[in-house]
């Protein structure tokens, strides 16, 4: 269920003109291109100011594209991923800001090893949230996108990204909190990405089989059971953005160390995606404006305030 906050909605655009503003908070470079990229490209093309906030530099990311798996790239992966991010943001038509934290890596093993000292996931909440509160107060978004409480998947940086995003959403409008980070600003809506829902995977799986093609989702869907508990968050908002799927894919490919052009991301033809699932999907977690779900616009209820 959407959490309606019991506080007065702020004047949505003091001193900033009547332009809509969207902030997407992500853990690593490349996350912005795999989650919500077509949505951002669409809104940017329509004149919305879009800012991607990237919490870490991806310094501990593995090289996932065999063509880029070279010692000189691995030795300088942080710089390479910074350059990849610059190309991706240009393709999407968005602005981007680094928070400057260090990638935590993904601990693997049984039991998993401890996280490295000084990494993002181990930072105290207020330390990790402070630069994001500053970014919110400077950019003044009406809508914020982030991950759910499980991070979309249980990478420690994704979970931390959720935590700092919720903290900043709640704190940025309170003049008593995070002094010295700018004038207070309260965003109006907070959404969680719902990128890999069971319904979407089944729809694209069936579309691939119907076209006589091999489905990349077969193995995933084999893990589902009728007895599986429903997800904690339901889709409330489906944003039509099929016209920007090609832009999304070009942004993904800009992250050449992370994305194999012959891999999973590109196995479903764009025409099938546009026909059978032409949206990117979200859960509306917080709202200070009146809106009715299901929605087809992240700014539903916001437009009326900004342009009234």
Q: Which residues are annotated as a binding site for Zn(2+)?
A: 28, 31, 158
Q: Torsions phi, psi of 158, nearest 5? A: -70, -40
Give the pairing of strands 49-56 and 21-26. parallel
Which DSSP letter does residue 135 get?
Answer: H
Closest by CA to 142, choosing from 1, 2, 282, 17, is: 17
| d(C-alpha 40, C-alpha 52), whole Å | 9
The Cα–Cα gap between 54 and 243 comes to 25
Indicate if the alpha-carbon torsion angle 233, 239, 245, 249 is positive or negative.
negative
CB 159 within 8 A of CB 55: no
Q: Tell which phi-psi region holds residue 30, choosing left (phi > 0), alpha (psi between -120 and 50) or beta.
A: left
CA-closest candidate to residue 280, choices 163, 209, 202, 191: 191
Residues near 308 by Cβ (< 8 Å), separated by ≥ 6? none
Please state, as a whole number, how many other Cβ atoms lie within 10 Å of the Cβ of residue 207.
Answer: 19
- Binding-site residue numbers are 28, 31, 158
């Amino acid at each position: 269920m959407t959490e309606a906050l019991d506080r007065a909605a702020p004047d949505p655009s003091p001193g900033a003109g009547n332009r809509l503003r969207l902030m997407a908070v992500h853990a690593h470079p490349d996350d912005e291109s795999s989650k919500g990229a077509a949505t951002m490209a669409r809104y940017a093309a329509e004149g919305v100011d879009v800012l991607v906030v990237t919490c870490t530099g991806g310094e501990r990311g593995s090289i996932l594209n065999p063509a880029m798996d070279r010692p000189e790239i691995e030795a300088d992966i942080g710089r390479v991923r910074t350059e990849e991010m610059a190309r991706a943001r240009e393709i999407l038509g968005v602005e981007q800001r680094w928070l400057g934290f260090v990638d935590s890596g993904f601990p693997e093993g049984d039991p998993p090893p401890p996280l490295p000292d000084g990494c993002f996931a181990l930072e105290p909440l207020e330390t990790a949230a402070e630069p994001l509160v500053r970014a919110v107060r400077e950019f003044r978004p009406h809508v914020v996108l982030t991950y759910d409480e499980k991070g979309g998947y249980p990478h420690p940086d994704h979970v931390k990204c959720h935590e700092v995003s919720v903290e900043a959403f709640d704190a940025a409008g309170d003049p008593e909190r995070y002094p010295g980070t700018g004038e207070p600003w309260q965003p109006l809506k907070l959404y969680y990405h719902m990128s890999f829902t069971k319904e979407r995977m089944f729809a694209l799986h069936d579309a691939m089989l119907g076209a006589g093609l091999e489905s990349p989702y077969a193995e995933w869907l084999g893990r589902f059971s009728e007895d599986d508990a429903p997800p904690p968050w339901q889709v409330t908002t489906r944003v039509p953005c099929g016209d920007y799927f090609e832009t999304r894919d070009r942004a993904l490919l800009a992250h050449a160390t992370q994305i194999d052009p012959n891999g999973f991301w590109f196995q479903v033809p764009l025409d099938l995606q546009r026909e059978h699932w032409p949206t990117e999907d979200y859960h509306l977690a917080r709202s200070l404006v009146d809106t009715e779900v299901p929605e087809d616009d992240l700014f539903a209820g916001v437009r009326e305030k900004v342009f009234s």
